[in-house]
Every structure is written in structure tokens, then in C-alpha cells.
């Protein structure tokens, strides 16, 4: 009798890239994936803000995964926005999907290195420490930004769009309005402004003087 052929399923290698805004450059992560010979069709990339974390390409990749596949990520914070989310994604990938993960910036985070209990234990400890450090650094960055903005405001630095200069006839119209020679609506029309805008600028002018 002919021997029955057994179908073998080969493992695939994937690369996941995420940049937090559409203005960030993904070249560094992309070059790293190509140096590892990850097939272009297996490189998935999301460009999204921190507020929008649906990550359609990441979800597409996860649906393709099968046991013993391998995922490369450049750094641990590509997997999530915060400590809890990174740990949750790691759990889903390694325990539910049963795939391997290799974090390029941290060689200790490579699930291929130790499949025994001690290897898994050490990997989990390193993961939790690095996830906490990544989230703590993001918190510190936001705090430094807030402190920098507060200090700049204290020095008189103004943020946002520069104010639109007042029309040349504003002061004259303002005096006529305050003298009740014209109405507020007439004054606003004379300066080509909405009534509310004219009134707000008039009050600001008076407070400055």
C-alpha cells in the first residue's frame, strides 16, 4: 500500500511596525525587518495616533498567525500603548496564538531562547520590567512637556495662532461706540467683525490700557 503523505505546515516569520503619528518615519523599523529577510508580504505596518489604537494591520497579522510562527518587533512599546496593554498582547500572542516573539532592541525578550519553565519565567520578568519602564518614560515625557509649557507661559510665551491684527479703524470705531454715537452692531459692521468678536477685542483693549 502506498504510504499516506502527511501534510506539514511550515512556520512563517512576520514583522510588525507601528509609528504613533502619520508624520513619524518608519524607515528605521522597516530596514531592520528587511535585514532579517522578512518577506515584504509579511511586514505589517500601522500609522496611527495614540488615541486611535484600532491598528487594522496588526489585527490582520494576528488573524494569519499559526502556532510556531515568529513575530519581530523593533521595541516592546510597539505592542501597546501602556503597561497593561503590552502584557495583554504578549499573553495573547505567546499563549493563545502560541507564536514566538523577538524584540530586536532587547535580545533577552526572545521567546525562542528558552522553552523551559526557567526561560519563560525570566522572559516574563524582563517583559514586565521593560513594559513598566516604557510606560513610565512616556509619563515622564508628558510631564516634562507640561512643565515646559507652564514655564514658557510664565515667561510670557504665547502658544497657538498669532492674534489677527486689529483693523486700522478699530480704535476710532471703539471710541465712537463707547461714546454711544453708534451701536455695537454698527461698530462691529464697520470693522467687518462679528458682534461677539468686536466686543471681546474691545474689552481686551480696554484692559490692556
Residues acting as catalytic residues: 20
Measured torsion, CA atoms of residues 159, 164, 169, 172, in degrees rounded to the nearest 10: -20
Q: Where are the beta strands (DSSP E) in 55-171?
A: 70-73, 100-103
CA distance 33 to 25: 15
DSSP assignments along 102-164, one per residue: EETT-TT-BTTS--SHHHHHHHHHHHHHHHHHHHHHHHHHHHHHHHHHHHHHHTT---SSPPP
Cell 522572559 belongs to residue: 123
Q: Is 46 helix (H, G, I), strand (E, B) or coil?
A: strand
Amino acid at each position: 500500500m502506498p504510504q499516506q503523505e502527511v501534510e506539514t505546515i511550515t512556520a512563517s516569520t512576520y514583522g510588525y511596525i507601528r509609528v504613533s503619528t502619520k508624520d513619524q518615519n518608519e524607515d528605521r523599523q522597516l530596514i531592520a525587518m528587511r535585514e532579517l529577510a522578512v518577506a515584504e508580504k509579511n511586514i505589517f505596518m500601522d500609522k496611527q495616533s495614540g488615541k486611535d489604537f484600532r491598528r487594522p494591520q496588526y489585527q490582520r497579522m494576528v488573524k494569519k498567525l499559526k502556532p510556531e510562527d515568529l513575530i519581530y518587533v523593533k521595541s516592546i512599546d510597539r505592542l501597546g500603548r501602556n503597561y497593561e496593554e503590552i502584557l495583554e498582547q504578549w499573553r495573547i500572542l505567546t499563549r493563545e496564538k502560541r507564536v514566538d516573539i523577538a524584540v530586536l532592541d532587547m535580545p533577552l525578550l526572545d521567546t525562542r531562547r528558552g522553552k523551559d519553565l526557567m526561560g519563560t519565567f525570566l522572559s516574563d520578568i524582563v517583559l514586565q520590567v521593560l513594559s513598566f519602564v516604557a510606560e513610565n518614560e512616556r509619563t515622564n515625557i508628558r510631564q516634562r512637556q507640561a512643565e515646559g509649557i507652564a514655564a514658557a507661559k510664565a515667561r510670557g510665551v504665547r502658544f497657538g495662532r498669532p492674534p489677527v491684527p486689529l483693523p486700522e479703524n478699530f480704535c476710532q470705531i471703539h471710541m465712537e461706540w463707547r461714546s454711544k454715537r453708534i451701536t455695537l452692531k454698527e461698530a462691529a459692521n464697520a470693522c467687518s467683525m462679528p458682534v461677539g468678536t468686536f466686543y471681546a477685542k474691545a474689552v481686551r483693549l480696554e484692559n490692556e490700557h
